Every structure is written in C-alpha cells, then in structure tokens.
Structure 1
Amino acid sequence: MTILRHVRYLKAVVDHGSFTRAAQALHVSQPALSQQIKELEERVGAQLLDRSGRKIRATDLGTIYLQHAGRALAELEQAIRAVRDVEDLSTGTLRLGVTPSVASYFIGPVLQRFRKHCPGVTLSVRVSSQEAIEPALRDDELDLGIGFGDLPAEDIEATPLHEERPMLIVGKKHRVAGKAAVTAKELAQMPLAILDASFSTRRLVDHYLRSKHLRASIVVEANSIEALTDIVRHTDLATILPANVIRPGLVAIKLQPAMETRRAALLRRRHAYCSAATRAFIAIAQEMAAGFQ
C-alpha cells in the first residue's frame, strides 16, 4: 500500500500547489509528506515536482506519472467501494451532482422517496453546472449526475428522464397572467428578471431571441432560481424558467413560437461501477420522471 500512499500524496501536492496545504488536507506533517514524495521520486528515478516557483507544479514526467498512476488509484478506490457496497442498502453512500434547474423541482421529491426506501444510505448532493458535473464523474468524484442528455461527452452515459420546456413565468397579478401565450416580440418588450450567463437556460433564452433578431429587456440578473421566482412573485417582472419550477403565486405562460425543450437525464461515467445505492436511486428517479411527462 506504500506506493498507493505515495500516489495520493503526490496528487495532493499537485492539486494544492503547496506542501503545507497538502499536508493539512492529508492530516500529516509537512516533513513526513516531503519525505514520502522524495522516496517516490527515488523509486521512480525521476523528478516529479517542480519546486522552483511559488506554486509547486508537476514536471512533465510527474504529469505522465499521475495520469497512469491516478487511473490505477481510481480503480482501486472503486474496488474498495465495491467491496464495501451493501446490497441490502442498510448502509452505503451516494455522491450526486445536480444542475440548478433540476435541483429546484426534481431532487427534493426524488430524495424524499429515496430516503424512505434507503434510510441507511448517506447522500452527498452537489448543485453545479453540467460543465462541472461531467469532469467530476470522469474523475470519480461523483457517482451519478442529473443534468441534460443533449450533448454529453463520449465517456459519459446519459439515461433520459423527462423533458424541460422553458416558459414565461409571472406572478398572478402580472398584466399578462391571464394570457394563454406570449409572442417572442412581446417577450422582448417585457422587463425581465433572468438567470445570468453561467446558466444553460439563459443561453437558450439569448439564442431564442437572437434567432428572431430581438433583444431581451433585462432589469435583473441572478444566479439563483429560487431568488428569481421570489422576485417575480413580488414584482411586475417576468422570467423564463422551466415550467416545472412553478410555485404557488406564479403562472406559466406558453411562448409562441415555443422555446426548444431539453431532455433531463441521469449521467454516469461509462463503464463505471454501479453500486446498489446508485441502482436504487436510478430506479426511483426514472419512476418519478414518468410523472413529469
């Protein structure tokens, strides 16, 4: 196990760019960490770290070593989880990544049912963009993601769940609350509170209006769906979000023409180990997604 400890230590130093911070993260002394890295370099017969700058980096040889040894380390840790996996779900862990829009309406009900069936499983939920979820799946930092299956990376497997259709969301007292539909031109003239450019929903809105040679009248930008729905509920502003996020006091109105739909999907690293907890979550998520069709 010594070589595996060496690999973990080397990766920590590279990730943190510092012996001090890596030692703190690993809960070992800095001299002990330095000695372990020195032993590894002697064993490999090459300098793996560039210590000349303010931030410690992997040398070219160190980068190559970590690419190969890191894969072996990930496989070993996956094997350890497989051995510890309890098929009766009396215990276990599940690391889940969820995109913000799906988190705002889907994750709560799914976890409610999952907790009822698997109360012994410990859950870790990370709300993040799909651009961050896919690398985390690839690096074995997450077991499962819930995002969109439109264009997953080649090594990411997408299992379709339900469709999300962006619609105009307004408060019940908004001047268009009683309308069945709003045109793109009407939308462009309407003051909006909208998600910022880090959200895929915002990019869909921008593309929708640009394709019709229109520009949105944006009054408020936010990085929180919950904040937007609260703003819209209490003001005369409108927003565009998936219809699934509707809360009491809000109304969803169709757009003419309709905006492009997106297919929510479960995301997994292709050929990754699938624990009993992961399999149980997938089954529950698929069952509940059927109610969103």
Structure 2
Amino acid sequence: MEIRHLQCIAEIVRLGSFTKASEALHVTQPTISKMIKSLENELNIEVFVRDGRQLQLTDAGQAIFSYAAPILQLFEQLQAELHDLTYLNKGHIRIGLPPMAGASYFPEVLKRFQDRYRGIAITLLEDGAKKIGDQVAEGAIDVGVVLGPVDAEMFESFPLAKDRLKVILPLGHPYADKPRIALAELAEERFILFNSDFALHSRIINECRKVGFDPHIVFESSQWDFIGHMVGAGLGIAMLPDTVCRSLPASKVCAVPLVEPVIPWLLVMVWKRESYLSLAAREWIAFTKESFGVGAALGNGNGSNDR
C-alpha cells in the first residue's frame, strides 16, 4: 500500500466518482481504476462494492478510508515541514562562539542572518575555543568559532579574522610607555589568563616556556572585560587580541604590541568533516563566508585547535 492509494480512495469517496477523482488528481480514469485494482490484489480484498450505480465502500474499504484521512493529514504536514526546511522557513542551528569573537565580530552578522531567515532558531554556546572545538568534534554543536590553526583531518574550516596579541598593562606600569615588549621581558610579571577552556591559556604558557620562563599566574577568568578591569586595578598583566584591546578603558589600561615572538590570533569557523549538516547550518556557513568576505570554496585549516 502506498500513499497514492490512500489519496485515490479519499478523493473517490469525497467526490463520489472515479471520473471526478481522476480529474482532481490529474490522472486518467483508467489509471485510477488500475491503482485501486492493484491495491485490492495486493491486500486480497475489495475496496468498493461494484454492484449498482451507487458507489459504496466495502467493510475493508471503510477500514482503509477511516485511516486514510489522518494519515494523509500527517503526510501533508510532513510535506509542508520539508518545504519549510528546504526553503529555510524553519530550522535550528547550534553555534559555538568564544566571548571575544562573539562580542567583537558577530552581533551584526547574527542580526542580518535573523532578518533574512526569521524562521531559523539559533542556540548559542558561549565558551572557550578549546571547549567549542571539542563540542563540534563530538557533534554536540553544528559549527563553532575556534582559534587556528585547526585539525584538518577532523574539521572543515575557513578563516574569519586575523589579529595579534598585545600586552595589557595598568597605567603607570614601567613598560606602559614602551613602543613594544618582548615576551622575555615579562618573566617577573604576574599574569592574568583565560581559564583552561580557552586555547589562549595553554598558548600563552607554551610561548612563555619557549623563551625561558613559566608565567606566574595569579588569576584566571572566562571574561575578557573582567580580565581588563583586573589589569586596570593593578592585579597583573594580560595578553589580549588588538581588536579586543580597543574596547578596554583607556583611562585604566594601555595596550603595547608584543614581539619576539608575535603571537597570532586567527579566528576560524569549523564544522566536523564528513558529518551531516542541516540546510540551515549550511546556509549559516555560506552567509558567514559572505559576511566576512571569504571568497574561496569551503576550505581546510591545518594544525591544532584554539580559542
């Protein structure tokens, strides 16, 4: 039994005629008759009483017809929902955004996307890039923003924005007037870092070790603005991307370029390689590429995850 058999029976009963039903379904009357006959042969029953001029259902036909209406209604609802999903009138996307990236780059992008696709619901996970990368890899979220380079075997990706870290110092710090600071010069400083869910946590520690010291970490936080205020209060120094530094209060802190080494901050959009992506998620990826001016085809990163 197929859905078209139920459609035929429902139309024949509704219109009281094979001829009218064939016209409503845009098929020939012999086609309708053949479909009903094939169903009867398949189920070894008769659907319609064939005596006399009045069209009547048999008991078996009545049983089929009683189920036909709710089944066809559900089928129509399914078709409507699939249509909405296909044409992005509805859908759901789970997106991971690190706080710094979310605040600096995505409010307007999200607003324009919602204006274009009002039926698509978005769930945002705000967390460190390291944790976001783990969640994308596990399939807990559809797409996420992490720090590059990324694992090309695990993720498909494309770059969003490139920046570099600066040293955040309280006003009055001896290094506040320097044009640039080498990382080794900070060996005796008290460090305020993001917590271990953030890729910058381990990245800064590793870079410090490369130049010969373990940073003295006095505070950890998940909020970049709180880190800035702690620096302003004289609790330590921090490292943040230049884009974020511009949002910190100039009356309390200053930002000095970090050199030897320069530590890049590359934002990358990632999704799990060879995993299912909904139409809504695919449209978000395409929309984000357009918004950030990424012209190449969906590409791959290389290396390891970061926040």
Tell me the TM-score normalized by structure 1: 0.60
| Counterpart-to-counterpart distance in 1, 2:128 and 2:83 | 30
Which residue of 269, 272, 283 corresponds with 2:272? 269
Higher relative contact order (CA 8 A, sep 6+): 2
Inter-CA distance 217–138: structure 2 relative to 1 (3 Å threshold): closer
Letter paired with 2:150: L
Letter paired with 2:89: S
Deviations 1:14-58 (A, max 9, x none): xxxxxxxxxxxxxxxxxxxxxxxxxxxxxxxxxxxxxxxxxxxxx
SS at the partner of 2:200?
A: helix
| Structure-2 residue corresponding to 1:152 | 151
SS at the partner of 2:85?
A: coil
> Counterparts in 2 of 1:72-221, with a 5 A limit?
83=82, 86-152=85-151, 154-171=153-170, 174-221=173-220
Runs of 4+ in structure 1 over 6 Å off? none
Inter-CA distance 218–131: structure 2 relative to 1 (3 Å threshold): closer
Deviation at 1:194?
2.0
| Counterpart-to-counterpart distance in 2, 1:198 and 1:173 | 31
CA contact (8 A) 2:184 2:212 kept: no
CA contact (8 A) 1:208 1:259 kept: no
Quote the sequence identity (%). 22
| Counterpart-to-counterpart distance in 1, 2:178 and 2:249 | 16
Q: Are 1:282 and 2:281 matched, yes or no?
A: no
Rg comparison, structure with higher value = 2
Inter-CA distance 189–104: structure 2 relative to 1 (3 Å threshold): farther
| Counterpart-to-counterpart distance in 2, 1:215 and 1:138 | 31
| Counterpart-to-counterpart distance in 2, 1:169 and 1:109 | 27
Q: Are 1:260 and 2:259 matched, yes or no?
A: no
Inter-CA distance 260–94: structure 2 relative to 1 (3 Å threshold): same
| Counterpart-to-counterpart distance in 2, 1:172 and 1:278 | 45
CA contact (8 A) 1:146 1:265 kept: yes
| Counterpart-to-counterpart distance in 2, 1:173 and 1:286 | 42
Deviation at 1:167?
1.7
Inter-CA distance 203–110: structure 2 relative to 1 (3 Å threshold): same
| Structure-1 residue corresponding to 2:33 | none
| Structure-2 residue corresponding to 1:34 | none
Letter paired with 2:258: L
CA contact (8 A) 2:147 2:199 kept: no
Deviations 1:59-107 (A, max 9, x none): xxxxxxxxxxxxxxxxxxxxx9x94653443332111122344334233
Deviation at 1:242?
1.9
| Counterpart-to-counterpart distance in 2, 1:206 and 1:194 | 9
Letter paired with 2:141: L
Inter-CA distance 188–265: structure 2 relative to 1 (3 Å threshold): same
| Counterpart-to-counterpart distance in 1, 2:172 and 2:121 | 43
CA contact (8 A) 1:149 1:158 kept: no
| Counterpart-to-counterpart distance in 2, 1:149 and 1:89 | 30
Tell me the TM-score normalized by structure 2: 0.58
Deviation at 1:155?
3.4
Letter paired with 1:281: W
Inter-CA distance 289–172: structure 2 relative to 1 (3 Å threshold): farther
| Structure-2 residue corresponding to 1:70 | none
Letter paired with 1:266: M
Letter paired with 1:235: G
Structure 2 residue ranges without an equivalent (≥5):
1-78, 295-307
SS at the partner of 1:105?
A: helix
Count, aligned residues: 211
Q: Are 1:223 and 2:222 matched, yes or no?
A: yes
Deviation at 1:123?
0.8
| Counterpart-to-counterpart distance in 2, 1:179 and 1:290 | 35
Inter-CA distance 248–240: structure 2 relative to 1 (3 Å threshold): closer
SS at the partner of 2:104?
A: coil
Inter-CA distance 177–163: structure 2 relative to 1 (3 Å threshold): same
Inter-CA distance 109–232: structure 2 relative to 1 (3 Å threshold): farther
